[in-house]
Structure 1
Amino acid sequence: MYKRRITKWVGVAFVSLTFTACSLPTVVQKSANPMVPASYNNSQDTTNTAKLRWQDYFTDPHLSALIDTALQNNQELNITLQEIQIAQNEVRARKGEYLPSVGLRGATGVDKVARYTNIGAMEATTNIEGEREMPEPLTDFMVGAFATWEVDVWHKLRNAKKAAVLRYLSTVEGKNFMVTNLVAEMANSYYELLALDNQLAIVRQNIALQTNALEIVKAQKEATRVTELAVRKFEAELLHSKSLQYDIQQKITETENRINFLAGRYPQPIARDAQAFSSLVPGTISAGIPTQLLENRPDVKQAELELAASKLDVKVAKANFYPSLGITAGVGFQAFDPSFLIKTPESLLYTLAGDIAAPLINRNAIKATYYSANAKQLQAVYSYERTVLNAYVEVANQLSKINNLEKSYDLKEKQVQALTQSIDISNELFKSARADYMEVLLTQRDALESKFELIETKVQQMNAWVNIYQALGGGWN
């Protein structure tokens, strides 16, 4: 009769565990589709500028020194390095979860049981080693080792550890992506600083020309060839140029401070060769093929690793529906007298137990975790696809920008030459009273604006040259 009951309950338990393991909620999963076009501009050349080290790409010694300082001192980068350490510690913690846990334990205590109780009466009639009665009060001493282990039948713990490893690698790629951005931001700020230096030099040259022109106009007014209005117009234009130089000086200060901030130091002068700006020519770019972005760009690799980790998270959440098997064991010595602890086998104790458990009713929390893990996996898929798409678009935009800026620079250079020549012509015509003073002023202003635009185009060219290197995934290796 009892044997039938035991068999019945064991059968019920196995049926319950089987039902628990098989009745999983239905979720929707999606695989990433990182397909990219075959080329950027019908070229299949696999030579890629991103393979160059930043030391070989940026040859200006002043810029190289600034980048090197930033890579050592930038606070945001150092914060990211600590995040890598945190992720590494998470891997260590996950690894320890699926290994047996062993510990030592020691304990002591004292117990006085009332004599007129069942336990007290039994102790009173118990003899220890002959006629000696059990001591009262009863002391207790124990020393031993114990171990616990969850058997990773469904690879739940191993998958959690693998997911932690992938996230650690993801933080490394995140650091590489930050290095790429830091190198590019430093280079762009440096070229912007050189452009501002050149704009300031042009303004000062223009101030000298306008001062000379103002003296001529004053002389002509005394000769009654022009009116006071012409003098005031020339004077106003000169004052405008003088005020403009202070605006540029403020931008120079802010740009220097931004560079110093990136370098992790307090404001100080930035060593640079401003005269070399006009001779800067963007280097040749080899974009390779789009599929190389999957290998070169740290943000793409980071998104890929996050996707792989999220898939493992789904497996870990799924394993929570299955029965878990735990094993506990212990061995040691226990006695009421310390002198008896070493007597074996009387004082020897050991224990070995196993338990199996599975959720059966009210699994809402487990289901919620499973649904959330799957939703995060879908998010990771879309994030990965978006990152790949964004990488391709960035490269395509920068390639087009480099091409258009090159053509624009050539035209603006010719425009500056024409307007520079027109300044001399307008001055000569004005001296001979064949041109109005407004024509002289407008010609000077147009020439100044065209020189500014030429410098802006040049710095945009250099920024595009920096940004294409960043977009291709260069700068971190």
Structure 2
Amino acid sequence: MYKIKSILYLIPLGICLAAAGCKIPQIVPANENKTMPGSYGFNTDTANSATGDWHSFFTDKNLVSLIDTALKNNQELKITLQELEIAKNEVQVKKGALLPAVGVKAGAGLEKVGRYTSQGAGDASTEIAPGKETPDPLGDFNIGAYAKWEVDIWKKLRTAKKAALTRYLSTIEGKNFLLTNLIAEVANSYYELLALDNQLAVVKENIGLQKSAMDIVKIQKEAARTTELAVQKFQAELYKSQSLEFEILQKIKETENRINLLLGRYPQEITRDEAGFLNQNPTVVHTGIPSQLLASRPDVKQAELELAAAKLDVKAARAEFYPSFDISAGLGFQAFKPSYLFRTPESLLYSLAGDLASPLINRNAIKAEFKSASARQLQAMYNYERTILNAYLEVSTSLSSISNLEKNYDLKTRQVDALNKSIEASNDLFRSARADYFEVLMTQRDALEAKLELIETKKDQLSAVTLIYRNVGGGWK
């Protein structure tokens, strides 16, 4: 009882010593700015496509199958899931620090004291009746339980546990953000593959037209209606198109392998249906209002949780300036002979102690850690504000891209139609010697480039829709 009262007297004494030793720094609040514009321009629709399931957004069954496989096998996603487990275990570590450390121990030893040491001389001078001398060497046997507990007076340990829990929740949002990016990356690579397939078909068709034109030029040369120069020009243009065919084939292989990497499997053919690619209508995406990004974008929620954890770290670092109070206790048996070990009360031992420690002089390390925690808090605040700004700008850019690509695609379609008609006209004029070979070559080249650009624009349209779906926070639910 006397020891317990002494411990209680030490607590206010330690607090007074800590307060006298140095002034504890104040926490500088990190007030983040969450304000956002009320709309993305003129769009004030509150409907948000991010609230739906991604299966209902993507309608191509081959693409859906690829995404499902990626969500099961992607190695980067599996790595992130293990990071989630690590963060969960860190919460358990911090939670365990709040509880007493309890254990059991047992030991055996033997000690022989030198005759001419202070202890040996003292033992020899003691008058002990014959047969009752202290054994030499002297044994030491013990068994018992012990406990140690840091009393969390200043909520330092509880704050650290809460910070770890917040970071675990942040890791979950990081996993969700990876899901949205993975789905978008698979979809964009799939659309790129379809575009390459269509470009390859256009090039092959153009090669056929060039071969037909080449045959006409050769016939006209034999009839002395044109020269060898025209033949070589047509031949060079044919070689260029054939070379482009192999470039596209290589790009197809690279894109297939990129998709296979995302799907976590070795190279194999990607099942797809390239027919009707140019007739695909992009899915309409409802962006909602900007403030919905705070709840729908996983990266925004992750940055918010990281900021909350950083604020808790500052509180835990500030608590290091206060005294720490530890309680230790032990209960067991100890004797110099095994047969005496469990004799009570002679072999019984117990202890109870309280330690109050407060840094008074060398506080530089604690100050440095507090300053570092404060700096990390400001970093997290700026990162949160930057993430919100980036999210808004990404959606705004995607909306502009979709609008401009729609107009661009309409004009490209008209250009291709006009050039297709010009090819027929140039061929007819060339046969009747009313147009030279250079006009035919340029018309075919312009038509090929326009068709390839039309396919590329369609791919950009589909990719832009996928990106805005990701940018508003869709795909992870």
TM-score (norm: length of structure 2): 0.94
CA distance in 2, matches of 1:152, 1:55: 49
1:194-228 CA-to-partner distances (Å, cap 9, x unmatched) read 00000000000011111111111111122222222
Work out whether residues 125 and 133 of structure 1, in 8 Å CA contact, stay in contact via their aligned partners in 2: no
% identity of equivalent residues: 61
For 2:153, give the aligned amino acid: V
For 2:193, give the aligned amino acid: L
For 1:355, give the aligned amino acid: D
SS at match of 1:354: strand
SS at match of 2:287: coil
Partner of 1:476: 476
Q: Note the C-alpha offset of 1:120.
A: 4.5
Partner of 2:113: 113
Q: Relative to 1, partners in 2 of residues 1:116 and 1:196: Cα closer, same or farther, differing over 3 Å?
A: closer
Q: Is the aligned partner of 1:276 residue 2:280?
A: no
Q: Note the C-alpha offset of 1:161.
A: 0.8
Deviates further, 320-329 or 84-93: 84-93
Work out whether residues 84 and 172 of structure 1, in 8 Å CA contact, stay in contact via their aligned partners in 2: yes
Partner of 2:186: 186
Instruction: Compute the RMSD of aligned alpha carbons.
Output: 2.3
Q: Note the C-alpha offset of 1:119.
A: 4.5
1:261-282 CA-to-partner distances (Å, cap 9, x unmatched) read 1111111111110113122110
Work out whether residues 142 and 333 of structure 1, in 8 Å CA contact, stay in contact via their aligned partners in 2: yes
Work out whether residues 310 and 373 of structure 1, in 8 Å CA contact, stay in contact via their aligned partners in 2: yes
Q: Relative to 1, partners in 2 of residues 1:416 and 1:117: Cα closer, same or farther, differing over 3 Å?
A: closer
Q: Relative to 1, partners in 2 of residues 1:349 and 1:130: Cα closer, same or farther, differing over 3 Å?
A: farther
For 2:404, give the aligned amino acid: N
Deviates further, 440-449 or 53-62: 53-62
For 2:382, give the aligned amino acid: Y
Q: Note the C-alpha offset of 1:15.
A: 7.3
CA distance in 1, matches of 2:208, 2:220: 19
Partner of 1:460: 460
Partner of 2:291: 291
CA distance in 2, matches of 1:38, 1:129: 98
Q: Is the aligned partner of 1:249 residue 2:243?
A: no
For 1:270, give the aligned amino acid: I
CA distance in 2, matches of 1:127, 1:340: 23
For 1:32, give the aligned amino acid: E
For 2:155, give the aligned amino acid: H
Q: Note the C-alpha offset of 1:17.
A: 2.2
Work out whether residues 14 and 356 of structure 2, in 8 Å CA contact, stay in contact via their aligned partners in 1: no
Q: Note the C-alpha offset of 1:310.
A: 0.3
For 2:59, give the aligned amino acid: T
Q: Note the C-alpha offset of 1:344.
A: 1.3
Q: Note the C-alpha offset of 1:166.
A: 1.0
Q: Within 5 Å, give how 1:319-468 maps onto structure 2.
A: 319-468=319-468
For 2:441, give the aligned amino acid: L
Deviates further, 323-332 or 21-30: 21-30
Q: Relative to 1, partners in 2 of residues 1:427 and 1:357: Cα closer, same or farther, differing over 3 Å?
A: same
CA distance in 2, matches of 1:230, 1:122: 122
1:300-359 CA-to-partner distances (Å, cap 9, x unmatched) read 111011100000000011001001100000000111122222221111100000011111
Q: Note the C-alpha offset of 1:134.
A: 3.1
Q: Relative to 1, partners in 2 of residues 1:193 and 1:141: Cα closer, same or farther, differing over 3 Å?
A: same
For 1:337, give the aligned amino acid: K
CA distance in 2, matches of 1:273, 1:312: 53
Partner of 1:237: 237
CA distance in 2, matches of 1:11, 1:272: 74
For 1:68, give the aligned amino acid: D
SS at match of 2:217: helix
CA distance in 2, matches of 1:50, 1:44: 16
Partner of 1:103: 103
1:140-172 CA-to-partner distances (Å, cap 9, x unmatched) read 110000000000001111111111111111111
For 2:136, give the aligned amino acid: E
Q: Is the aligned partner of 1:164 residue 2:170?
A: no
CA distance in 2, matches of 1:424, 1:12: 100
CA distance in 2, matches of 1:435, 1:288: 56
Partner of 2:55: 55
Work out whether residues 290 and 392 of structure 2, in 8 Å CA contact, stay in contact via their aligned partners in 1: yes
CA distance in 1, matches of 2:21, 2:387: 37
Q: Relative to 1, partners in 2 of residues 1:354 and 1:190: Cα closer, same or farther, differing over 3 Å?
A: same
For 1:275, give the aligned amino acid: A
TM-score (norm: length of structure 1): 0.94
How many residues are aligned here? 470
SS at match of 2:406: helix
Partner of 1:3: none
Q: Note the C-alpha offset of 1:19.
A: 2.0
Q: Relative to 1, partners in 2 of residues 1:339 and 1:194: Cα closer, same or farther, differing over 3 Å?
A: same
Q: Relative to 1, partners in 2 of residues 1:313 and 1:173: Cα closer, same or farther, differing over 3 Å?
A: same
CA distance in 2, matches of 1:11, 1:258: 64
CA distance in 1, matches of 2:175, 2:150: 35
SS at match of 2:206: helix
Work out whether residues 323 and 356 of structure 2, in 8 Å CA contact, stay in contact via their aligned partners in 1: yes
Q: Note the C-alpha offset of 1:76.
A: 1.4
For 1:166, give the aligned amino acid: T
Q: Note the C-alpha offset of 1:28.
A: 3.8
CA distance in 2, matches of 1:367, 1:58: 54
1:64-123 CA-to-partner distances (Å, cap 9, x unmatched) read 111111112111111111111111111111111111000101111122335676645665
Q: Note the C-alpha offset of 1:127.
A: 9.7
Partner of 1:139: 139
CA distance in 2, matches of 1:12, 1:151: 14
Q: Is the aligned partner of 1:40 residue 2:51?
A: no
SS at match of 1:275: coil
Q: Note the C-alpha offset of 1:431.
A: 1.3
CA distance in 2, matches of 1:202, 1:10: 88
Unmatched segments (≥5 aa) in structure 2: 1-5
Q: Note the C-alpha offset of 1:126.
A: 7.6
CA distance in 2, matches of 1:298, 1:129: 83
Partner of 2:3: none
CA distance in 2, matches of 1:129, 1:35: 90
CA distance in 2, matches of 1:273, 1:20: 78
